[in-house]
């Protein structure tokens, strides 16, 4: 019981206890106390160090990404202060499809401990493959007030510069302003597989000249390629990100037979989208509705 009281006390209390104890004993007790006092001082130091580093883990999990954990710093700013929060075991998908607006949506989880029970913000920095910072931001954390440990789930939108490898760094800050260790992850941003919704026009007369067609859908990007009947590759067109639409020209050479045209879209490195159909139709039979003049004189010139 004496040892437990000493471990939980600060150094000033320990010296006071030691002084009282020595005053009640002789030389032999004084020597024993000095030996014990050295041992007790180490017992006070070790728990403080463990509070800062014992919860640090190696990230990554289930093969869904990698993370590196670094030691956080303890908040020693006076009575009642606690160690900085700690995070570990970051999990996330390591391959993410790019959104059409140059962003990716990343969802993941991490474990945390926070003796103060007041995680306040999630801090994120995004770097490109060359280590150049693309963005940094902090998002508020809600719903964890008073919780000393657990799992934090988050969905964040990261700005990227196309496809490729990107690095992100994550930390948390508590309500006292103490910042945790930092976890670093790497993601591979890929093009999405397009999903087509509509095409216009839905029919083109046979033997028409080059005809402009507009398609709409998701996952269409500036680098998308259009296919007609799985063969003709059309890369020249216009992309409108705000509406998710792309217009391109079907060449006259594909309009020489009465048949359906299967229109698909693919992105670099992806499979083709679902197919939409444009029908090449026969020229309509003329239908007269007006003739002028309606009559002419016999032998008239």
* Whether the predicted pLDDT of 244 surpasses 50: yes
% of the chain exceeding 70 in pLDDT: 70
* Whether the predicted pLDDT of 65 surpasses 70: no
pLDDT in tens, 82-119: 689 999 999 999 899 887 677 889 999 999 998 876 88
Instruction: Name the residue with higher pLDDT: 26 or 56.
Output: 26
User: Cα–Cα distances in Å, from 210 out to 156, 240, 248, 255, 263?
Assistant: 44, 21, 10, 8, 15
For 38, the token pair is 């050295």
Regarding beta strands 133-140 and 211-218, do their DSSP bridges make them parallel or antiparallel, or are they unpaired?
A: unpaired
Mean pLDDT for the chain overall: 73
pLDDT of residue 21: 36
* Whether the predicted pLDDT of 56 surpasses 70: no
Instruction: Name the residue with higher pLDDT: 40 or 52.
Output: 40
Task: Give φ, ψ of 145 to 5 degrees.
Answer: -60, 125
Kindly indicate the confidence band of residue 55, based on its pLDDT and cuts at 50, 70 and 90: very low
Q: What is the CATH number of domain 68-75+82-190?
A: 2.60.40.2550
- Number of Cβ within a 10 Å radius of residue 275: 16
- Prior bond of 201 cis (ω within 30°): yes
pLDDT of residue 166: 93
CA distance 298 to 288: 24
CA distance 89 to 93: 13
For 225, the token pair is 């390629």
> 54-57, long-range: CB within 8 Å, 24+ apart, which pairs?
55/86, 55/88, 55/113, 56/86, 56/88, 56/181, 57/88, 57/89, 57/111
Per-position DSSP letters for 50-88, written without gaps between them = HHHHTT------TTS---EE----B--SSTT--BPPEEE
Of the candidates 270, 262, 261, the residue with the CA atom closest to the CA atom of residue 220: 270
Reported residue count of the chain is: 301
Cβ contact 275:264 at 8 Å: yes
CA distance 239 to 236: 10
Q: Where are the domains of the chain?
A: 2-53, 68-75+82-190, 195-281
Q: What is the CATH number of domain 195-281?
A: 2.60.40.10
> What sign does the CA torsion over 135, 140, 146, 150 have?
negative
What's the DSSP call for residue 253?
Answer: G
For 249, the token pair is 């020209």
pLDDT in tens, 179-237: 999 999 999 999 989 999 999 999 999 999 999 999 999 888 878 888 998 887 776 67
b or e along 170-200 (b: 16 or more beta carbons within 10 Å of the residue's beta carbon)? Answer: bbbbbebebbbbbbbbbbebbbbbbebeebe
pLDDT of residue 110: 94
Q: Do domains 68-75+82-190 and 195-281 have the same CATH topology?
A: yes
Regarding beta strands 68-69 and 183-190, do their DSSP bridges make them parallel or antiparallel, or are they unpaired?
A: antiparallel
């Amino acid at each position: 019981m004496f040892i437990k009281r000493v471990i939980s006390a600060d150094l000033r209390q320990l010296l006071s206890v030691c002084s009282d104890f020595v005053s009640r004993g002789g030389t032999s007790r004084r020597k024993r106390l000095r030996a014990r006092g050295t041992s007790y001082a180490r017992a006070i130091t070790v728990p403080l160090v463990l509070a800062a580093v014992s919860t640090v883990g190696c990230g990554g999990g289930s093969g869904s990404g990698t993370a590196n954990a670094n030691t956080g710093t303890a908040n020693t700013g006076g009575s009642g202060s606690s160690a900085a929060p700690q995070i570990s075991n970051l999990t996330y998908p390591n391959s993410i499809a790019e959104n059409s607006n140059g962003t990716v949506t990343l969802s993941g989880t991490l474990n945390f401990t926070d003796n103060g029970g007041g995680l306040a913000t999630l801090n994120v920095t995004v770097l490109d493959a060359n280590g150049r910072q693309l963005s940094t931001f902090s998002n508020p954390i809600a719903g964890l007030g008073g919780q000393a440990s657990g799992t934090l789930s988050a969905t964040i939108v990261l700005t990227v510069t196309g496809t490729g490898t990107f690095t992100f760094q994550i930390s948390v800050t508590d309500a006292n302003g103490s910042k945790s260790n930092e976890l670093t992850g790497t993601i591979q941003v890929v093009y999405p597989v397009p999903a087509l919704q509509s095409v216009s026009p839905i029919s083109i007369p046979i033997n028409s000249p080059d005809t402009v067609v507009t398609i709409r859908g998701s996952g269409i990007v500036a680098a998308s390629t259009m296919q007609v009947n799985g063969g003709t590759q059309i890369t020249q067109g216009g992309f409108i990100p705000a509406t998710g639409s792309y217009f391109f020209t079907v060449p006259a050479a594909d309009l020489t037979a009465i048949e359906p045209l299967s229109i698909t879209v693919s992105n670099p490195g992806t499979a083709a989208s679902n197919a939409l159909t444009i029908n090449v139709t026969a020229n309509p039979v003329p239908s007269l509705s007006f003739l002028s003049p309606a009559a002419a004189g016999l032998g008239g010139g």
